[in-house]
Structure 1
C-alpha cells in the first residue's frame, strides 16, 4: 500500500489520546496523525508502539533530577569542598543551557556559596579548582564519545602540564545510556556519573518493546526510515556515516522540554527528506511548529467564542482579539509545562508583555496568584479540548483545514508597534 490519507481505527484514536496525555500534551492528536503519514498504513501500529515508549522530561522533572543528584553530591563531599559547575560544550549547546536548570534547584539555591559556575574549563588551576571538584553538566550522555572528546581536548592536557593538579571530576546529567559507562571508564576511570541510567531501545534481553520476536519489527521500522533521516560527516576521515538509530547507535527514546537530543531515534525529530517530525530539532522545523501552534490556537479561539468562554461583542477589537489569543496560547503552553522564556519565544513577546497578559488573565480568573492555572482556567482548557475532539471526530475539517482559518496579525501589540 502507498502512503496517503491517514485512516485511524477507533482503538488507535484512543491510543493516540493516551499518548498525548503521557507526553504532557506537548503533542496534539493532529501532529501525531500527520507524523503517521510518514509511514504505510499497515505500519501505523508499530509506529505508535515507538512513541508510546517515549520518555518526556518536563521542566519540573529536569529540575528534580538535578536537585536529587546535587544533594547526593554534597552529601558525599567534605563540608569545605567547593563545586565548580561547567556545562559541556560551547555557549548555546545543551550542556551550557543546563546551567539554567541547575540554578533553579532547591539544593543549589540553599547552598549557593558552595557552587561556582565556570563558563569555560581552561586554566583550572588559576581558577581555584585545584583540590576541589569539577562537575561537568549535560542533559544526556549518549554514547559517551562526545563527552570523552570534550574532556580530552579541553581538560585532560591540563593534568599533564601541572602534575600537582588534584581535581575530582563528576558528571551530572538527567539521563545517561548504560553503554556510555564503558567509554567513560576507559577515558575517565576516576569520574563518577550522576543521573538516571537508561538502556538502548533495542537492547537484547531488556528492550522496552519486549522479547526479540516482538522487538525486531520495531527496530526494522526505525532503521528502515532512519537511515535516510540522519547522517553526520566525520571531519577527520572525511566519511559520512548514517545514524539510523540515533547518534552512534544510542537508540534513545528521550525527549526534553527544552530540546530532543540526536541520540534519540531520528524518526522522532528529523525533518530531512520531507519527513514530518514529532519534535523537530532544526530551526526550520521549530519555526514551522510555532506557526502551526499559532494556527491551532486561532481555532481554539473560534471555539472559545462559540462556547461563550470569551465575549464576542468586542471580537472586532484589535486589542481584545490579541489578548484573547495570547491568554489562550499561554494556557495551552502552561499545560505543556513550558517555561516562561520558551513561552515568550513562541509568542514573540517580551517578559513585560507576558506579565501584562498574565495580569489580565488573573482578572478573568484564568490564572492564579502564582501565575498557574485556576480551576476555571483548567476547565476552560478541557472544555475547548473536548469540543475540538468532537469537532474532529465529526469530520467537519480535513486535517483541521488550518490554512482556511482567518489569521489575525496585529500591527500593534499592547500599544507597541
Structure 2
C-alpha cells in the first residue's frame, strides 16, 4: 500500500514513518520567516573557543522557554551586560532538527532591553573610567588608624546609619560622627549624595567619609554608578569608604572608593579600631617588652660573669709582661746600637781633626815658617810682588809684624832640560 500523501490521510494500517513526519515538520518550519521575539535570559554558559553560543530564553509572563543558538560574533556584538537575568529582544529564525526532533531558535541579532541596557551602559562606563585610571590601586588613600571625626552619608532614618554608628561606637566608644542624611535612591540621589560628599570633604576635622546604603534592587543602586557621583568621589582628598548594598552588589562607587566595604556593618569595623583588642594588644606588648628586657638583662649579666671569671680579668698585668720584656729588649738593642754609632763617629772625628791639624797653616807656622801678606790681603808668593819700600805684614806662629822691603831678589828659573 502506498504511503499517505497527507497527514490527514494516515490510518492505523497506513501510518507515516517518523522520519517522514520530521521531514515534513522541517519543511514547514523552514518556510517560516525570521521574526523578532523578546524574553529573559535564564541560562547562559559562555564557551570560549566554541563555534556556537547557546542560551535559554524564557517568556517573562509564562514558563515558556526555548533554546537559542548564535554565532560568537552575535554575542560579541551585544557588548557588556549580557548575562543571566537580562531582558533581550532578538531577531531569530526557528530551526527544526530532524534527528533529535527538537525545535530551537537561531539568533541573527540580540539587543539588551530595559535594565539590561542600563547594566551594559554601566559596564561601558566602568571600562572607560578604568582606562582613565580612576580605579588604579596607587590612587587609593590609606584609611586613618583612628579618625578624629567620621563623615557619614546615608539615607534618612535608614538602618545603614544605625549599622555604622552603633557598630563603630561599640568598637570605639569615643567615635564622633558628622552625619549627612540624603536621598539614596531616586532622581535626587545623585545630586544630594554628591553634595554631601563635597561638604564632608571640606571639613578639616573629618578624617574619613563613609557612604552607606542598605541592600536594594539593581534599579535602587543605580545612582551609585552615576558618572558625576563617581567622579566627585574620585576627587575627594579625604579617604572614602563605600558601603553600598550587600556582598554581591558592586556599583561603580565601590571601584573608585579607597576601601570597599561589603556592608555598612563591615564599614564600621574597618574605620575604627576595636578598643578591647587594642587594650589587649597593649597589655601583651608591655608584657612582651618586659620579658624581652628581663631576658636581655639576664643574658648580659651572664656574659658579664663570664668575662669577670676569665684569667685576664683576674691578673690583667700578666698580658703586659711579654710586651714589657719585648720593649726592654728593643731599648737595650737601641742603646747598644747608638753607643756603637757614637763611638764610631767619635773616632772618625778624632782622625779628621788630626789630619786637619797636620795640614793646617798654623802647624806649618809652628814649625818656624811665616807668611807675608800685602796690605791688600794678598799672600806674597813671588819677590816680584814686593818692590823696594813695600810694606808687608808678617804672620808668625805667635803674633804678627809689619816690615818694609829694602830689597828683593827675583827667583832664578831652573834651566830647562834638553829635549
Query: What TM-score results when the alignment is normalised by the length of structure 2?
Result: 0.21
* Greater fraction of residues in strand: 2
TM-score (ref. length: structure 1): 0.21
Higher RCO (CA 8 Å, separation ≥ 6 residues)? 1
